[in-house]
Amino acid sequence: MNKIILTLGIILIGFTAQSQEIKKNKNAKEVIKVDGICGMCKKRIESAALKTKGVKFAIWSPETHQLNVILDERKTEVATIQQNILNVGHDILLDDNKKLIAKEEAYNSVHPCCKYRSDEIVKDHKGELKKQKKNNK
């Protein structure tokens, strides 16, 4: 009798432990905010995300700075995608005005027109410097 109770107890514990396992979604949708300013940034950010194993879809908007991704959580994590984006020179914008900042070497590798940390270049992409240059002539 004790062996039966012990066996049933082990089986019950096994089922309980198995049911508590976190199910990983093969089509999870995530939004990552990434700093950048132009079409070249868009291509670089999306490519870095898509080269991550398990990422099925990635599209970034220069206006909203949102990178929408569909990923297989069984194959990758959001942190891995973020690291790949940092490696190509783009900062990750977190909540509460915090950032994950790309290493200076990676940031310096981006095209000169993509230097999103420079206020002057950001203004140039918005057309403000172009307007000022025309008015000065």
Each residue's pLDDT tens digit, 44-76: 999 999 999 999 999 999 999 999 999 999 999
When pLDDT is cut at 50, 70 and 90, the band that residue 92 belongs to is: very high
**How many domains does one find in the chain?**
1
* Sign, Cα dihedral of 129, 59, 35, 97: positive
Is residue 2 in some structural domain?
no
Is residue 13 in some structural domain?
no
Is residue 130 in some structural domain?
no
Phi, psi of 11 (to 5 degrees): -65, -45
Structural contact between residues 120 and 134, judged by C-beta atoms closer than 8 angstroms: no
Is residue 10 in some structural domain?
no
Q: Which helix (H) or strand (E) holds 84?
A: helix 78-87
Is residue 17 in some structural domain?
no
> Residue 78, Cα to own-chain centre: how many angstroms?
6
What is the strand order of the sheet 99-100 is part of? 55-60, 66-71, 28-34, 92-93, 99-100
Is residue 91 in some structural domain?
yes
Is residue 115 in some structural domain?
yes
The CATH code of the domain that includes 98 is: 3.30.70.100
Domain hosting residue 66, numbered range? 28-123
Q: Tell me, what's the pLDDT at 17?
A: 53
Q: 131 exposed, middle or buried (CB, 10 Å; 0-12, 13-18, 19+)? A: exposed
